[in-house]
A = this chain, B = another copy of it.
Amino acid sequence: MKIDPLLTYITRFIELSTREVAILSEQIKVRTYLKGQYIVQQGDVCEYESFILSGSAKTFFTDQEGHEHVVMLAIENWWTSDLGSFITREPADYHVQCLEKTTVAQFSFDALTSLYEEIPQLERFFRIILQNAYVESQRRIVRNLSLPAKERYKLFLENYPEIEQRFPQYLIASYLGITKQFLSRIRAELQQ
């Protein structure tokens, strides 16, 4: 499978020469996972930053009481990994599991380190990506702190209509920080 969607995505932020595209392509590994397979396992060091070419994945962890909490849901053209583990080389806090057959483009830590040297523009690319991710992350915190579940769900529908369609309700409930039962009740209210 080709990494064209990734190149398209990158060149929305920086320009790449033909030579740079070649260098990049060489360092990136394309890999396909089956439904249910893990891209990252909690406790292992996260070896890759993965860019989803097709398919979808959930990032989650299990708390002391054995309850799963969804940290992130990702589809095509999204990144997924345990960034904290990836950059520190410490055991991952989260699992990343495929929800369907999923093909990703992967940057290993070493590949990325050398790519930063060979294509300095990539520093800018990831800086911009991270800026956006950070801003979005702060927004999510704000929404979680200041809005009741019903409002959070409505905003989720507005912001991620594609995701709503694609994932079971109980995962969305977990992502929103509520139980599946409660989301079901919220949806019932919104019907009327």
Interface residues of A (CB under 8 A from B): 61, 63, 67, 69, 71, 83-84, 87, 93, 116, 120, 123-124, 126-127, 130-135, 137-142, 144-146, 177
Contacts and interface: CB of A to CB of B under 8 A. Distances in A.
A129 to B, nearest CB: 9
27 contacts: A61-B146, A63-B146, A67-B146, A69-B142, A69-B145, A69-B146, A71-B141, A71-B142, A83-B131, A83-B134, A83-B135, A83-B138, A87-B132, A93-B142, A116-B124, A123-B123, A123-B124, A123-B127, A126-B127, A130-B130, A130-B134, A134-B137, A137-B137, A137-B138, A141-B141, A144-B177, A145-B177
Contacts of A93: 139, 142
